[in-house]
Each structure stands twice: as structure tokens, then as C-alpha cells.
Structure 1
Amino acid sequence: MPSSPKIKKEDMLQAALELVSKNGYAALNIKAVAGELGCSTAPISWQFGGMDGLREELIPFAEQYVEDKYYSRNENELATFEQRGKGTIDLALENPNLFRFLYTGERSQLLSTGFELQTNNQDAANMYQEMAELLGITPKQVMDFAMTMMVYTQGIGTLIASGIVRDTKENMYHMLHNTGMTYLKGLGVKDSTLCDLSGGDRSDESSSNG
């Protein structure tokens, strides 16, 4: 049997992630990863069995990186949901190559992090229920709102990562916030409820402009 590689799998995935972030997915290959690590291609090929294996394991590794760096919980479910949208904008602005790798067709697997809309996911179901109770609307309305905002935010992120839209992070945040608030008001959510739930987000300054 071959001996265990001296370079850890996590280090190989980290090198692949950095390569994608710097040069885009098209630049990713085993030889390039080996160059980043200063080793031969043999341990990488042994660890992943080829490019398909490397790509397959890189996707969840990259998703977890994004989850840890760009997404965080907030003081309530609505604020947490908005923060995830802001994190998507941050990713598109700061790391467009990685955004494109994860979200714009440079991969074949379905997205497993970010906005979770799976009705059979208990955590997602609990989020919808908690948001519905906070907002005074139905879980179905919350799911429709979540889907709309996911499509809207991913659209903004794609335009940013493609270089089509250039604007400040603050303006993008305001666009995201104001669109979400307008949608929720259309569902009959009270202004006072929205103010109470979104006012604690220290990065949000749009409440004074709306």
C-alpha cells in the first residue's frame, strides 16, 4: 500500500481554494495545486484520484469557507437572513472568482449553503416558522419572500462578480434592505415590527433613509 502523504488533504484543498480565488476555476488543475504546495503531483493524485475527485471535495470545502467567513447569525431570524444576503454581496465584491465558481455554473452540484429553501430541511423549516411568528405572516409567505430575495441577491452578486455593476458595498446593502422591506410591507407586515427587527443590525443605516 502507498504510504500516507506528508501533505494533509486540508492543505491541498486550501491550496486549490486559493488558486481558484486568485486565478479562477479555469486555472485549477492538479499540477497547479502541486505548484502552490511545492510538491509533485503524485500525493494530490493519490489523495483525490484525479481532477474530478479534487473538484468534488473542493466544493463543500469552499462552501464551508464562505459559510465561516461571510455568513453569521444575528439577534433574530430576519436579521440573520438579511446578513446572509449581505454576505453574498461581500463575497461577490471581495472574491469574484470564488463567487463565480460557487454560483454561476462552474460547478455541477447544487448549492448546499447560503439561502436554504429546502422544505424537508428541519433547520430551514424552523427558520421559516420563527420568521413567520416574528413577522406575523404565514410560513408559506416567508418561503416566497426568501425565494424572491435569494434570486434578487444572487442576481446582484452575479452582476458584481461579472464586473457589470460597480457600486459601493453600502449602496448594495441599502438596495438589498429596501427591497426586502418593501416586499414585507406588501405582505402586510407592520412598519413598527420591521423597525424593531431590523434596527439592531449595526451595519444597516438605511432605516434613517427609508
Structure 2
Amino acid sequence: MKKRIVAIGSSIGAFMAVGIVAYAITNLFFTSDYTTDLSKKQIFQFDLNTGASNGEVGPGDSFDISPVIFNDATEEMYVFVKIQMPEWSESPLYTFKADDNWSLIESNEGSFIYAYGCPYMTVLNPGESTSALTNQMTMCSISNAEYAAIDDINVSIMGYAIGTEDVDPSPSEAWSVCKQLGNLE
């Protein structure tokens, strides 16, 4: 019986010890947390890849050129490409066929503005690329004497982008907003 009382006493003692340890652990527990108050940075940029080949070009010759815009931003955008080329006899020195995904919205004196989208602007999402505006240009067939009189036969390509929020998807309206925002008038 003495053994039994000792066993019961030991069990009660062990139970109380576990209870005291559990009580001590729960009373000595502490936690803390903190959440930052960060906001996302807005990045608005694109990469213009012309795919242009360099080399000698003469009357009637063609060369590769394939302007593509890649949206490297965090925002959606509408994009435009301007091609500026020399003129010969009040006509553009080069001819090219624009891809069906692009709309000609303005042209004068060797300058051509194309909007990505036809008949409405195409939203270029982050990580997306346009189709190539064209794949090649061909110099007009002019005489060697006329060709010799042209000082600069180079083509300039510029890309433009605007955000899509509250912008009319009509290519001419979107270009008007782009010109206004960029002071291009």
C-alpha cells in the first residue's frame, strides 16, 4: 500500500509539475510583428528594336528593317512609331509596306506616324511586343545623278508610348493625346 501511495503521489506530483511548466511557458510567451507600408513603383518604358541592317544601299536596293516595340513597363500602353526619311523630288526616298496591325495616322515631308492597332489602338500589356511595322524598305529607282545629289540616305525611327487610362482608343485621338503629353506639336 505504501508503494501505491508513493506511486499516486508521484503521479500527482508529475502532473502538477507538467501543469506548472505549461503555465510558466504560456505566461512567458511573447510575439511581435510588423508589416511595411510599401507602394509599387510605376515604371513606364519600352524597348525599340529596329532590326535594321547596315550596309550600302543604292537606287532600287532593299534593306531589312523591322521596328518592334517591347513593353518593358509595369503598365499597359498604346504605342506609335515615327519613320523619318529623306525626300527625293518631293516624295519619300524609300517605300515599304506596313503590317496590317499598324495604322498610318499622319504623314508629311518624309515623316510617317503609325499607331499600333487597326481600326482601334491595341493595348500593349507588360511583357508583350508589337508585330514588326515592316520587314524591309526599298529605295526608289532614281538615276545615279539624282542619287549623288542626296547627302543623307538614312532613316530615323522613333517610338512613343502613352498610358491607356482615359485615352480614346481611336488611333488619331490617342496620337493627339501623345503629342500633347510629349509636347510634339
TM-score of the superposition, structure 1-length normalised?
0.24
TM-score of the superposition, structure 2-length normalised?
0.26
- Which structure is higher in helix share? 1
Larger Rg: 2
Structure number with the bigger relative contact order (C-alpha 8 A, sep ≥ 6) is 2
